[in-house]
Amino acid sequence: MARQLESRGWWVLALGAVGIWIAVDRARWLGDDPAQAVRVEAARTMARGIEVLREERIRRAGPIDARNDPNRTALIGKAYTDLTTTLGDLEAKRTSTNPNLAGLVAELLQQAGARPGDPVAVACSGSFPALNLAVFAAVQALELQPTIISSVGASSFGANEPGWTWLDLEQVLAERGVLRHRSDWVALGGIVDEGGGLDGTGLLEGAAAIRRSGRPVLEEGGRKSLVADVRRRLELLGAGERRPRVFVNVGGGLTSLGGVSEGAMFPPGLIRRALAPPDPRDGVIARMLEAGIPVVHLLDLRRLARAHGLPWDPMPLPAVPSGTVMRPRGLGRWAAGVGLVALGALLLMASRCWQKRPRPEEIASIRIHG
């Protein structure tokens, strides 16, 4: 009988603890959370941008290739064109089209301390047009003041199609009223080092895209002028006089990562401090961190999605809002505190009940004298 009571006690304790955990988790969905409203606004802006781009892409070129872009986002390019710089992961590119990533970017910017009216610096790459859209949507929802440098070159399955580069997408989104901001300067990017394909066509196509955009050209020379190019970008992005609150980097651009091998090892998400001693070959990310400016680094989509509860290579596109990152947090701390108190009370009650329970020798004595 005593063993049955003890077993029942453990079951009650376990079930009570599980019930408290579920209640605390569900409480995160309740109550007002102003920050969540901003995340949802950013995600909805990105979703609207995808609709506009889908419509415009079909109008210009007919049906979208459903093999590479099953969600028909118009944000997935081809495996190779003369604008292609490096190999890219198709699943990562499709993962980046989840509109809720704009909500994640908004959250990371808020965690970095960005508030309405703050200046922020942004480096965009043609490799991840969907992430560029997510950043623009988040900056807009937070009412920040961005300074933006974009590159034309793109890795596989990025915005690497002539006539449908990131600059073309950005222009469509601005003209249709989805986005209020556009790039302040544009550069050719990695196609400079790659030579623009076998016959240099990519350089001509990249230059044509820049002319179509009407944005100022940022002349860069690739690896041979990396130090000077990084210095110039820092000047334009305001790391000196107009110090940005945050630097946002999209993709793996040379000027952002720098020429040191450790550059490719920056973790995705929010980085608050420098990860290595200064090096003359450091890129913009390292330089910003050295200056005490936090960085939101958007690369390595698998780690980024896993860390923030977003699905990998989703089909169909997730609804807005969805994913752990989009949950309201208004009652999170309060619920956690109440849950801890409730769990403590449960343990205390169990402890007192077990203390009052007869000891084995007392039970034996009762049996003998009974």
Query: Does 203 lie in the same domain as 135?
Result: yes
Residue 326 has pLDDT above 60, yes or no: yes
Residue 89 has pLDDT above 60, yes or no: yes
Per-residue model confidence (pLDDT) at position 261: 63
Give me the number of domains the chain comprises: 2
Residue 110 has pLDDT above 50, yes or no: yes
Residue 366 corresponds to which tokens in the numbers above? 């009762």
Residue 219 has pLDDT above 80, yes or no: yes
Query: Does 314 lie in the same domain as 183?
Result: yes
**Which residue in the block uniquely carries the two structure tokens 């453990």?**
10
Query: Does 143 lie in the same domain as 179?
Result: yes
Residue 207 corresponds to which tokens in the numbers above? 């230059």
Give the span between the Cα atoms of 82 and 202, in whole angstroms.
4
Per-residue model confidence (pLDDT) at position 5: 47
Query: Does 206 lie in the same domain as 345?
Result: no
Query: Does 338 lie in the same domain as 242?
Result: no
Q: Please give the radius of gyration of the chain, using alpha carbons only, rounded to the nearest integer.
A: 27
Per-residue model confidence (pLDDT) at position 153: 94
Residue 45 has pLDDT above 70, yes or no: yes
116 within a domain of the structure (yes/no)? yes
Q: What number of CA atoms fall less than 13 Å from residue 253's CA on the CB side?
A: 36
20 within a domain of the structure (yes/no)? no
Over the stretch 120-171, which tens digit does the pLDDT of each residue have?
999 999 999 999 999 999 999 999 999 999 999 999 999 999 999 999 999 9
Query: Does 308 lie in the same domain as 175?
Result: yes
Per-residue model confidence (pLDDT) at position 21: 63
Q: What is the mean pLDDT of residues 336-344?
A: 66
Query: Does 259 lie in the same domain as 191?
Result: yes
Lowest mean pLDDT among 235-239, 279-283, 363-367: 363-367
Per-residue model confidence (pLDDT) at position 250: 98
Per-residue model confidence (pLDDT) at position 360: 56
319 within a domain of the structure (yes/no)? yes
Give the span between the Cα atoms of 244 and 139, in whole angstroms.
13
At 343, the pLDDT band (50, 70, 90 cuts) reads low
Torsions phi, psi for 61 (to 5 deg): -130, 5
Residue 347 has pLDDT above 80, yes or no: no
Q: What is the mean pLDDT of residues 174-189?
A: 97
Q: Within 10 A of 41 (CB to CB), how many other CB atoms are there?
A: 19
H or E stretch at 295: strand 295-298
228 within a domain of the structure (yes/no)? yes
Q: Are 167 and 215 in contact (CB under 8 A)?
A: yes
What residues are paired with 161 via a beta bridge? 164
Over the stretch 230-260, which tens digit does the pLDDT of each residue have?
999 999 998 556 799 999 999 999 999 998 7
pTM, to two decimals: 0.82
Residue 285 has pLDDT above 80, yes or no: yes
52 within a domain of the structure (yes/no)? yes
Query: Does 83 lie in the same domain as 46?
Result: yes
| Percentage with pLDDT > 70 across the chain | 78
Query: Does 367 lie in the same domain as 256?
Result: no
At 116, the pLDDT band (50, 70, 90 cuts) reads very high
Better-predicted residue by pLDDT, 17 or 1:
17
Residue 349 has pLDDT above 50, yes or no: yes
111 within a domain of the structure (yes/no)? yes
Range of the domain at 278: 34-326
What dihedral do alpha carbons 36, 333, 310, 148 form, nearest 10°?
50
| 3-class secondary-structure state, position 24 | helix
Query: Does 293 lie in the same domain as 316?
Result: yes
Query: Does 305 lie in the same domain as 358?
Result: no
Query: Which amino acid does the sequence have at 4?
Result: Q
Q: What average pLDDT does the structure give for the chain? A: 87
Query: Does 185 lie in the same domain as 135?
Result: yes
| 3-class secondary-structure state, position 230 | helix
